[in-house]
Amino acid sequence: MQAANKQKTLKQRLAGNELTIGSWVTLGHPSIAEIMAGAGFDWLVIDAEHSVIELAEIQVLIQVIGACDCPAIVRLTSNDSNQIKRVMDAGANGIMVPFILSAADAEAAVQATYYPPRGKRGVGLARAQGYGARFAAYRQWLDSEAVVIAMIEHIDAVRNIESILAVDGIDAFIIGPYDLSASMGMPGETTHPDVRAAIDTVCRAGLELGLPGGIHVVEPDLEELDRQIGAGFRFLGYTLDIRILDSVCRRDLAAIRGRHAPRDSGR
């Protein structure tokens, strides 16, 4: 099954509402991205919103991730057409757009991703276009394979969820539970009943429209991942580089110290 999935593009897998598991890259060192891409994630998000990764580093990370045959998605700092153009020109497989609040926001993101007549993106010759040598091939790839992910992370987006997800060109969505809870006046209270109800509303809308949706399981918790898959999510982010590193260090050091704690000599 895994080999068969590798023959499909991410766009095709999303269109088929298949389960995909990705993760987040927030540290700019290429080796980290290479390790994570080589581990077998279905996609990786390069996080430009909550990290210090700059555009030149983003292109390097896209190159490294792509060399491992893993799709690279860039989470933007905002729904900015200029930034969308630049990361797509750098060779990103797609974009993840924060704070989509309305159908108009979603449409703007799609328009910024695609060339006319489908969209409004300016045409340039950069890495994605083979530095000018493969423009025709890139144009064909763009129309058939580029991915646009809407981030649903505000209560206003929940209220507009059906119209947002109905926008042609939105391939999937992912919920940002921390920002969603903050927009409801309960920052970080992601298990509060009202926050859970909002998440359930978004999940149901995705299921009704047949659009793959997901949520970011921030901590390395397989049981929580299983719960979210059971809830109907199909596009899931599983933890991130810094949490993997921190959690493994803390877990193993606690175990080591527990096994090898100094014994009380009784003195």
- The pLDDT of residue 7: 85
Mean of pLDDT values over 115-132 = 97
**267 within a domain of the structure (yes/no):** no
Q: Is 29 annotated in the active site?
A: no
β-sheet bridge partners, residue 95 = 74, 148
**255 within a domain of the structure (yes/no):** yes
3-state secondary structure of 126: coil
**19 within a domain of the structure (yes/no):** yes
**105 within a domain of the structure (yes/no):** yes
The answer, yes or no, to whether residue 2 has pLDDT greater than 60, is: no
- The pLDDT of residue 261: 79
Please report, rounded to a whole number, the percentage of residues in the chain having pLDDT higher than 90: 92
The answer, yes or no, to whether residue 6 has pLDDT greater than 80, is: no
**264 within a domain of the structure (yes/no):** no
DSSP-H helix ranges across 152-265: 155-159, 161-165, 177-183, 193-209, 222-230, 241-259
**265 within a domain of the structure (yes/no):** no
Mean of pLDDT values over 99-123 = 98
**238 within a domain of the structure (yes/no):** yes
- Please state, in angstroms and rounded to a whole number, the distance separating the CA atoms of residues 258 and 245: 20
Structural contact between residues 189 and 128, judged by C-beta atoms closer than 8 angstroms: no
Strands 172-175 and 147-152: parallel
- The pLDDT of residue 263: 67
Q: How confident is the model at residue 262 (pLDDT cuts 50, 70, 90)?
A: confident
Burial of residue 190 (number of CB atoms within 10 Å: 0-12, 13-18, 19+): middle
Name the amino acid, one letter, at 14.
L
Number of domains present in the structure of the chain: 1
Domain extent at residue 162: 2-259
Of 50, 154, 192, 260, which residue is the catalytic one? Answer: 50
Structural contact between residues 69 and 42, judged by C-beta atoms closer than 8 angstroms: no
User: Which helix or strand (DSSP H or E) is residue 118 part of?
Assistant: none
Of 104-113, 167-176, 253-262, the least confident? 253-262
Mean of pLDDT values over 83-108 = 98
Q: Report pLDDT digits (tens) over 155-199.
A: 999 999 999 999 999 999 999 999 999 999 999 998 999 999 999
CATH number reported for the structural domain that contains residue 252 in this entry: 3.20.20.60
The answer, yes or no, to whether residue 265 has pLDDT greater than 60, is: no
The answer, yes or no, to whether residue 208 has pLDDT greater than 60, is: yes
Q: Report pLDDT digits (tens) over 126-160.
A: 999 999 999 999 999 999 999 999 999 999 999 99
